[in-house]
Amino acid sequence: MQYISTRGKAEKSNFCDAVMTGLARDGGLIMPEFFPDFSDRLEQLSRLGYCDLAYEIMRPFADDIPDNVLHEIIRKSYLSFRDSEITPVKRVGPVYILELFHGPTLAFKDVALQFLGNLFEYILGKRGGKLNIIAATSGDTGSAAIYGVRGRRGITIFVMHPDGRVSPVQEMQMTSVTDHNVFNIAIDGTFDDAQAIVKSLFADLEFKDRNSLGAVNSINWARVLAQIVYYFYAGLKIRSETGFPKVSFCVPTGNFGDIFAGYSAAMMGLPVDKLILATNENDILSRFFNSGVYKAAEVVPTISPSMDIQAASNFERWIYLHFSGNSDMVRDLMRKFALEREIFIDLQTAPDKFISAGRAGTAEALETIKRFYGEFGYVLDPHSAVGVSVALSSPCSKTPIICLATAHPAKFPQAIKDATGIDGLAKAPQIEALKTLPTLKFKLPSDKCAVANFIERKLSSIQD
């Protein structure tokens, strides 16, 4: 399998090079040249456990890694998960809930970032050298990335989060890790500001090469690859149990990475009826899929902070597929959006066959949390509640709807209390254990030069 850039100006690469590169050197996102077709193997795949299924799905994409090594990387990646199924699916009232929060940081990002941390370690062990990761987080990516690489030889990580715009638990999970190779940066700005700094630093090829930069955000293709697996796992399981020929998924999203994994699964032959995209008040994506207008607005802080995004990093991958790999079109549209913060794509003439979209604001999310606890004894976190709320109002009633539960409710205790009126309803031992630990973060302005200087100072001090 060879990998290419959505913007068409970077050299092709193999999987390991794509993992280490993160963002393509022409500023585009890395994509596989093609999606393998699994449609004639669905019955066989449906009988596999999670790790064996992951191997079968990943094998065509990672053909430069020996079979036994890939098997072992996958096995190691999910040892820390608390459920033997890794990503179990449960029927809760009118929907199915795909629980993606059984990893070490209680968020769906663990599924990909435990895998990516082991990939980095394998590649560095084979090639030598160092990797310095720079990442932006709206909440959960930061802690999952830190837990994926903390203490690993040859890896240093710098994680930027918007100061005061993540939940207290999310911040505590990040800043309580004070390992020598971990640097938490609180920037005076939004997630979009932090993500723009990341992309700008990667676009500065001299800085990127000099400091051996790598990416763990969902711009890294390996993140998307790991997430494709749980769509196959859940989709085939519910398809077998219900007898329905197709299933639908509802995905709460801000950065378009998680739902793009589902899109990729559908491209690979998973029988998907609809991918229901759910946003909170920061609804640039739901507005786009209902109007064709992709227009950034001011970021609105909400109770689902991981979705408080107005420039979805992975949307470029969808544009690339929508225009059948036309890199000239991708470059033109992304250049226009960077300048004007608005683009238009005619979805009336060429509608997307998989994606429908809706929005659920704070009031709807709180009401959904209250209803699901009251009627079914099930506690949803606010992000998952956005998805369930949109799913319940979706016209996709002819197929089972699998709603992605992206985080454990214990990460958002105030929202759970506000919804149910019950204090302490959502707890997790892993979070309680963090409350007595010291924390460390570095406050910086939302400025590329300030962040770049900080990175180089810290890397110099580590080397000294």
Token digits of residue 178: 């004070």
Say which amino acid occupies 412.
Answer: F
Give exposure, 162-172, as e/b (b: 16+ Cβ within 10 Å): bbebbbebbbb
The type of residue at 447 is D
User: How far is it, in rounded angstroms, from Cα 384 to Cα 407?
Assistant: 7
State the catalytic residue, choosing from 9, 90, 109, 417. Answer: 109
Whether the Cβ atoms of residue 276 and residue 248 lie closer than 8 Å to each other:
yes
Q: Are 254 and 224 in contact (CB under 8 A)?
A: no
b/e 180-214 (16+ beta carbons within 10 angstroms → b): ebbbbbbbebbbbbbbbbbbebbeeeebbeebbbb
Active site residue 109: yes
CA nearest to 381, candidates 283, 304, 302, 280: 304
Give the angle subtended at the CA of 205 by the CAs of 199 and 209, to the nearest 5°: 110
Query: What are the structure tokens assigned to 376, written together?
Result: 């079914």
Catalytic residues, by residue number, are 109
